[in-house]
Amino acid sequence: MERKWWQDKVCYQIWPKSFQDSNGDGVGDIPGILRRLDYLKELGVDILWLSPVYKSPLADEGYDIADYRDIDPRFGTMEDMERLLAETKRRGMYVVMDLVVNHCSDEHPWFQQALADPEGPYGKYFYFRKGKNGAPPTNWRSYFGGSVWSPVPGRDDLYYLHLFCQKQPDLDWENPAVRREVVEMVNWWLDKGVAGFRVDAIVNIGKPAVLEDYAPDRPDGLADCRKMLADPVARRRLHGYLAQLRDEAFAPHNAFTVGEVFDTDPAELQLFIGQNGFFSSMFDFAAACWGGSPKGWYDAKKPGPDNYRDCAFASARAADGVGFLSNIIENHDEPRGVSRYLPEEASGDPRAKKALAAVQMLLPGLPFLYQGQEAGMTNTVFPSIDAVDDVNTRGEYAAALAAGFSPDEALARVARWSRDNARTPVQWTADHAAGFTTGTPWMAVNPNYTQVNVAAQQGVEGSVLEFYKSLIRLRKNDKYKEALVWGGFEPLHQDQSGLAAFVRAGGGRTLAVASNLSGEPQRVDLPGTTKEVLLCSDGAPGLTDDALILAPWQAAVVELA
């Protein structure tokens, strides 16, 4: 496999609205990010993925773009963005933007012109279809609940398609003019100095030749729109569009791209992230999808540490020798990883947070941290549905009510999966609004900020934050890089419940990573004798000739002879 510039990097996702406010309006902004660059550099991260900062009505928090070449005034100005590019470059860091092109905002001039003349050239940028006997063209349910079709204002026979919310009309990628617009825009940003893109919801751009009904799958009488993803024509189209993006934009710039791809089958992995794949990398969502239910969030099962391990290991094996997956425990669409994968009683325990961190950060692939993860931020509490901002959670709450749950039960069932868990302001300090803003934060700070915050951990030995720094340093250490970045992967004792252990070998070194994801001590038999303990999350592990004895929630990395 040919080596690429981004493979030994560590990535960090910024969700700008909640990262750092600089002007007291309660909304995070680009000058706020600038203020934290030295912190991020010291943490050891290299590539910053910025969730959307483009001009947007923020109906889906920026994933509804009204101008792809402008910055929303709430986040700053284009000068701020250029300053961010210059300041990251000066520090040897990179900025990756969010590429949201399955849809745009209904306030984008393309859609406005399309509404004015649905039969005109901009009408062909979108999916306008006639209804069927007073009903929408198909029975598809949108990702956020309700029909994917909304009527065109003033035209009761005509509808437009939106797989996400009503304010996110889907772009028709079969139209070469749409593809040309996107390719030009992507090149424009890359020429400006952006290092690449995280590519949003991208599997959805390939649509079937004919849009038709599927068998209804919920009491609302609708069918999951995701069913279209299995359509062979949709898939073929998707591949063609992605090849064009790669050949005409990504590859000529040697860009780093990471796809938000939910549904690849193993046979497609090579096509997506192999040598000359569509993307540099794609997220591994196996653990995030575990326990999901076709009925909705109210019916989802909570994964435990063994489920996380099994998903992550299976993905690592599938990608072995093919390419680099991007590893996450959380992002802006998912609850906090420590709340999700650790047993409830341990999810606030710094030892358990560190044990989970060791696994994620040392798996093969590219580690992505999500803002606040490094300080061990957890899920928040929602006093009522009114405290929920997220359009996705509100749709899932409605589905839970429709299934017969009381408002309290419905809230309790969907709250733990809410995207807002990860969207509360970053907890920097124990002061006013956790140091996020001098004003009133746009979304309530997680009440645990007085205990869980960056300032309380900075420079404090044994803290979650300092442990993340040591993991990053280890991964980047020239001595171990061959093993930890490019080396092979072998699971160890995967049948031992509560243990996540594996071997990474390369460059003449063999490292064993072992994490006790349980409250009981664990013995880990090693495939060799221990030469040196490279890292331990708490104190030192017990050692015999050929085994490690890990205390509850203890993680260690050892070099084997």
Nearer to ligand TEU, 298 or 468 (CB): 298
CB closer to ligand TEU out of 201 and 361: 201
Query: Among candidates 245, 235, 128, which has minimal Cα distance to 178?
Result: 245
Residues 205-244 binding ligand TEU (CB under 6 A) are none
Are residues 282 and 324 in contact, defined by beta-carbon separation less than 8 angstroms?
no
Pairing assessment for the beta strands 499-506 and 223-224 based on DSSP bridges: unpaired
Q: Least separation, in Å, of the C-beta of 45 and ligand TEU?
A: 20
Q: How far apart are CA 223 and CA 217, in angstroms?
A: 5
Chain residues 402-441 in contact with ligand TEU, contact rule CB under 6 A: 419
The answer to whether 158 and 232 are in contact (CB under 8 A) is no
Q: Which residues contact 136 (CB under 8 A, 6 or more apart)?
A: 147, 148, 149, 159
Closer CB to ligand TEU, 164 or 341, in the complex:
164
From residue 153 to residue 192, the character string flagging contacts with ligand TEU as x (rule: CB under 6 A) and all else as - is -----------x----------------------------
Q: Cα–Cα distance between 74 and 56 in angstroms, integer?
A: 9
Q: What minimum distance in Å lies between the beta carbon of 340 and ligand TEU?
A: 12
Q: How far is the CB of 392 from ligand TEU (least distance, A)?
A: 5
The nearest distance, CB 398 to ligand TEU, in angstroms, is 15
Q: CA 555, CA 539: separation in Å to the nearest integer?
A: 10
E strand or H helix at 71: strand 67-71
Query: Any contact of residue 143 with ligand TEU (CB under 6 A)?
Result: yes
- The CA-CA-CA angle for residues 359, 362, 367, to 5°, reads 100
Q: Which residue has the tokens 């960056």?
A: 454
Take residue 372 and report the two structure tokens written for it.
């606040």
Among 21, 29, 46, 60, binds ligand TEU (CB under 6 A): 60
341 counts as binding ligand TEU under rule CB under 6 A:
no
CA dihedral sign of residues 243, 247, 248, 252: positive
Q: Which of 280, 392, 522, 554 binds ligand TEU (CB under 6 A)?
A: 392
Strand partners, 150: 160
Tell me whether residue 126 or residue 164 sits nearer to ligand TEU (CB atom): 164
Query: Alpha-carbon distance 464 to 131, whole Å?
Result: 55
Min CB(167)–ligand TEU separation in Å:
11
Residue 332 CB, nearest approach to ligand TEU (Å)? 6
Binding-site member from 85, 100, 242, 261 for ligand TEU (CB under 6 A): 100
- Find all residues with CB under 8 Å of 383, minimum gap 6, and list them: none
Mind telling me the catalytic residues?
A: 200, 260
**Residue 111-130 contact track with ligand TEU, rule CB under 6 A, x = bound:** --------------------
Collapsed DSSP state (helix, strand, coil) of residue 151: strand
> Of the two residues 423 and 475, which places its CB atom closer to ligand TEU in the complex?
423
Q: Does 63 bind ligand TEU (CB under 6 A)?
A: yes
> CA dihedral defined by 120, 122, 125, 126, rounded to 10 degrees?
-70
Q: Which residue is nearest to ligand TEU (CB)?
A: 63
Strands 11-14 and 366-370 come out as parallel
Task: Tell the smallest beta-carbon distance from residue 243 to ligand TEU (Å).
Answer: 22
Question: What distance in Å separates the CA atoms of residue 24 and residue 432, rounded to the nearest whole number?
Answer: 12
Closest distance of CB 435 from ligand TEU, Å: 25
Among 34, 85, 201, 342, binds ligand TEU (CB under 6 A): 201
**DSSP letter for each residue of 42-55:** HHT--EEEEPP-EE
Question: Contact letters (x/-) for ligand TEU, 238-277, by CB under 6 A?
Answer: ----------------------x-----------------
Select 288 or 555, whichever has its Cβ closest to ligand TEU.
288
**Nearest one of 209, 197, 221, 205 to 279, comparing CA atoms:** 197
Residue 111 corresponds to which tokens in the numbers above? 């859609």
Return d(Cα 420, Cα 433) in angstroms, integer. 17
Spatial strand order in the sheet of 542-543: 522-525, 547-550, 542-543
The phi and psi torsions of 524 (rounded to 5 degrees) equal -120, 105
d(CA 181, CA 343): 47
Smallest separation, CB 366 to ligand TEU (Å): 17
Of the candidates 340, 463, 370, the one whose C-alpha atom is nearest the C-alpha of residue 19 is 370
Per-residue binder mask for ligand TEU (CB under 6 A), 18-57, x = binder: ----------------------------------------
Residue from the set 333, 389, 466, 559 that interacts with ligand TEU by CB under 6 A: 333
Residue 285 in the binding site for ligand TEU (CB under 6 A): no
Count of residues touching ligand TEU (by CB under 6 A): 12
Nearer to ligand TEU, 172 or 200 (CB): 200
560 strand-pairing partners? 510, 530
Residue with Cβ nearer ligand TEU (100 or 359): 100
Residue nearer to ligand TEU on the CB measure, 143 or 256: 143
* Residue 143 C-beta: closest distance to ligand TEU, Å: 4
What is the nearest approach in angstroms of ligand TEU to the Cβ of residue 547? Answer: 41
Which C-beta is closer to ligand TEU: that of 145 or that of 435?
A: 145
The answer to whether the CB of 92 falls within 8 A of the CB of 140 is no
User: 503 with 512: CB under 8 angstroms?
Assistant: yes
Give dist(CA 55, CA 122) in Å, integer. Answer: 20
Which CB atom, from 264 or from 494, has the smaller least distance to ligand TEU? Answer: 264
- Interface residue with ligand TEU, options 46, 72, 106, 200 (CB under 6 A): 200
**Residues of this chain that bind ligand TEU (CB under 6 A):** 60, 63, 100, 143, 164, 200-201, 260, 332-333, 392, 419
